[in-house]
Structure 1
Amino acid sequence: MDELDSYSRTVVTVAETLGPAVAALAVGDPERPSGAGSAVVIDDPAGAGTVLVTNAHVVDRARGGRATFADGSHADVRVLGADPLSDLAVLAAHPDATTPRPVTLGDASGLRVGQLVVAVGNPFGLAGSVTAGVVSGLGRSLPTKDGRVVEDVIQTDAALNPGNSGGALADAHGHVVGINTAVAGVGLGLAVPWNSTTRAIVASLRRDGRVRRGYLGVVGAPAPLPVDVALRLGRRQGLRVAEVVRESPAARAGLKAGDLIVDADREPVSQARDLQRRLFADAIGRTLPVTVLRGDAMVDVLAVPAELTG
C-alpha cells in the first residue's frame, strides 16, 4: 500500500507541476481550426518572449493558432518553424499574452526501460489530462504517412489519444524528457526525446525557421551484435534495419531490410540517434559510408543523403 501511495504522490506532483504549462493547441482559424493537439511552454534562451514546442504534424501547414491553458487563459501563437524529420515545431506566443512559467527540461539520454513516465496533454480536447506508465523501449524509429522516418523515439505504455500529440512526457521529477508524437497502437505511445539533438533542432527552428537535415530513409531499432562481431568491435549493439523507404537514398545505395548497421561515416552506430546525429546540414549531398553486417559479411555501402524538403 505504501508503494502505491508513493506512486500516486509522484504522479500527482508531476501533474501539478506540468499541467499549467501544457496547452490545448488549435491551429488555423481559432473559430474553425484545421488541426488540434497540445503544446508545451519552454524557456526561450533568446529571452524574446514565450516559446512553445509541439509536433510538426500538428501544425502541418498552418501559420498560427491559439493555445489555451488549464486555467482558461489563452494566447494567439504563430509558427516559427517546423521540422518533419523530428516531428517538432516551435511556436511564439503573442507578446501581449500572459502565459504560464515554462517547464523544466530534462535529458532523455539517461532514460532506462521500465522507468516511470507521466504524459500530460489534451486528448479529445480534455485539457490537463494525465496518464502514467513506463518506458517500454528506446531508440525506436517511426515511419510517417508521407514516407519519412522520425528517428530515435521513446516507446511508452502511458495511454495516449488524439490530441496528446505535442504534449509533455516527464520523468518522476517533473522534468520533460519527451514530446508526445503519436499513438502507434493499443497500449503503445511514442514520444520525441528531449536531448542535445532536440535542443539543437529547436534552437535552429527558433532562430532560422527551419532545420537543414539529411535524409536516408531507413526504419530501424537497436539489436545485439553476434558475439564474435561484438568482441571484435568492442561493443554489443548495432541498428537493425526493419524497413527501407522506397526510392529513398538508402534504397538507392542498396541498404536492405535485415542489415545491421554498425558504422556510419566511420563512427559507431548503436541506435537511431547515432545515425541521426550524422544527418545534419553538412551531410547533405556528401557520400556517407555505411558499414552493415549482412548475413556473415561486413558490407560497405555508400549512401548520399538528400536534403529533407517540404
Structure 2
Amino acid sequence: MSVVTINSRLPEIKEIKSKMVSGIGTGVVWDFDGHIVTNHHVILPTKFRHATSILLKHVHLEVHLLNSEGVEKPYIAKIVGMDFGIDLAVLKISIPKSDLKPIMVEDSTNIEIGQECFLIGATQSYRHSLVTGRISGLNRDCHINGRPPSNGLIQIDASTNPGISGAPVLDYNGHMIAIHRAGLAGLRQYA
C-alpha cells in the first residue's frame, strides 16, 4: 500500500526544557528508494518550528507499512528534509524495493470544483481509514497552524480528524492530487 502511518515521539529534553511529545499522522510512499512524504507537523509539533540539531537528534520516527499480505510492519525512519513554511517533510526507510508501492501522482491543475476526492489515513488513530469529500475551492490562501501564509491551496469538504495530516488527497482513479495539511473550523480542509 502507498499510504503509511507515522508515529513520532520526542522525549523530554532537559537542555531545551521540552516535555515528551508523541503523535500520529499519515504519509505516502514516494519512490522505490524508500522516501516517505508527510507534513512537517507530523514529525515535529508546530511549537518546534525551528528544528535544532538537539531536537532532530532525539526525535524517534516509526513508519508502519502494510505489506502485500496485509500485515503491518514498523520501520525506523530518518529525516531527509523538512520545510516548516510549506509544512512538508521527507523521511527515508530501509526496505526492499519489492515491498514498496509508490503513490501515483496526478497533475493537480486538472482538478475541478465539485470533483470527488478521497483520503486514506490514520484518522483518530484508526489506521487506513477512508474519508470522502469533494473539491470545494481552488487556489485558496490561508494561515494554517501559525505558519507563514500559504497560497494556491485546494479546499476540500471532507470531514477529517487528527491523524489524517500528511494523507494523500486522491482522485477517482486513486492518484494523489495533494497532501492534506490542515483542518479549520467547520468542513474547511486544506491540501
> Given the two structures, how large is their TM-score scaled by the length of structure 2?
0.79
Residue identity opposite 1:109 in structure 2: T
1:26 and 1:33 in contact (8 A); partners too = no
Secondary structure of 2:131's counterpart equals strand
User: Is 2:135 the partner of 1:151?
Assistant: no
User: Is 2:3 the partner of 1:22?
Assistant: yes
Q: Give the match for residue 34 of structure 2.
A: 50
CA distance in structure 2 between the aligned counterparts of 1:29 and 1:97, rounded to whole angstroms: 29
- Highest relative contact order (Cα 8 Å, sep 6+), 1 or 2? 2
Q: Which is worse superposed, 169-178 or 98-107? A: 98-107
User: Is 2:51 the partner of 1:67?
Assistant: no
1:142 and 1:150 in contact (8 A); partners too = yes
User: Is 2:191 the partner of 1:188?
Assistant: no
CA distance in structure 1 between the aligned counterparts of 2:146 and 2:189, rounded to whole angstroms: 20
User: Is 2:122 the partner of 1:119?
Assistant: no
Q: Give the match for residue 79 of structure 2.
A: 79
Q: Which has the higher helix share?
A: 1
Secondary structure of 2:124's counterpart equals helix
CA distance in structure 2 between the aligned counterparts of 1:36 and 1:178, rounded to whole angstroms: 19
C-alpha displacement of 1:35: 2.5
Residue identity opposite 1:158 in structure 2: A
2:144 and 2:182 in contact (8 A); partners too = no
* CA RMSD, Structure 1 to Structure 2 (Å): 2.2
**C-alpha spacing 1:64/1:149, structure 2 compared with 1 (3 Å):** farther
Q: Give the match for residue 194 of structure 1.
A: none
Q: Give the match for residue 34 of structure 1.
A: 22
Q: Which is worse superposed, 65-74 or 114-123? A: 65-74
2:84 and 2:147 in contact (8 A); partners too = no
CA distance in structure 2 between the aligned counterparts of 1:97 and 1:29, rounded to whole angstroms: 29
Q: Which is worse superposed, 106-115 or 94-103? A: 94-103
C-alpha displacement of 1:181: 0.7
> Given the two structures, how large is their TM-score scaled by the length of structure 1?
0.50
Q: Which has the higher strand share?
A: 2
CA distance in structure 2 between the aligned counterparts of 1:57 and 1:151, rounded to whole angstroms: 18
C-alpha displacement of 1:160: 1.2
Residue identity opposite 1:80 in structure 2: V
Task: Show the 5 A alignment for 1:1-310.
Answer: 20-28=1-9, 34-43=22-31, 49-60=33-44, 61=51, 62=56, 63-70=59-66, 71-95=71-95, 99-191=99-191
Secondary structure of 1:127's counterpart equals strand
Q: 1:36-73: CA deviations, max 9, x gaps?
A: 211110125xxxx2111000121124554001134311
1:67 and 1:75 in contact (8 A); partners too = yes
* 5+ residue gaps, structure 2: 12-19, 45-50
CA distance in structure 1 between the aligned counterparts of 2:88 and 2:35, rounded to whole angstroms: 13
Which of the pair has more CA radius of gyration?
A: 1
Q: Percent identity?
A: 28
**C-alpha spacing 1:130/1:136, structure 2 compared with 1 (3 Å):** same
Q: Give the match for residue 278 of structure 1.
A: none
CA distance in structure 2 between the aligned counterparts of 1:36 and 1:142, rounded to whole angstroms: 24
**C-alpha spacing 1:145/1:182, structure 2 compared with 1 (3 Å):** closer
**C-alpha spacing 1:75/1:99, structure 2 compared with 1 (3 Å):** farther
2:24 and 2:122 in contact (8 A); partners too = no
* 5+ residue gaps, structure 1: 1-19, 192-310
C-alpha displacement of 1:159: 1.6
C-alpha displacement of 1:183: 0.8
Q: 1:63-114: CA deviations, max 9, x gaps?
A: 5400113431121111111112221111101356974311111111111101
2:136 and 2:155 in contact (8 A); partners too = yes
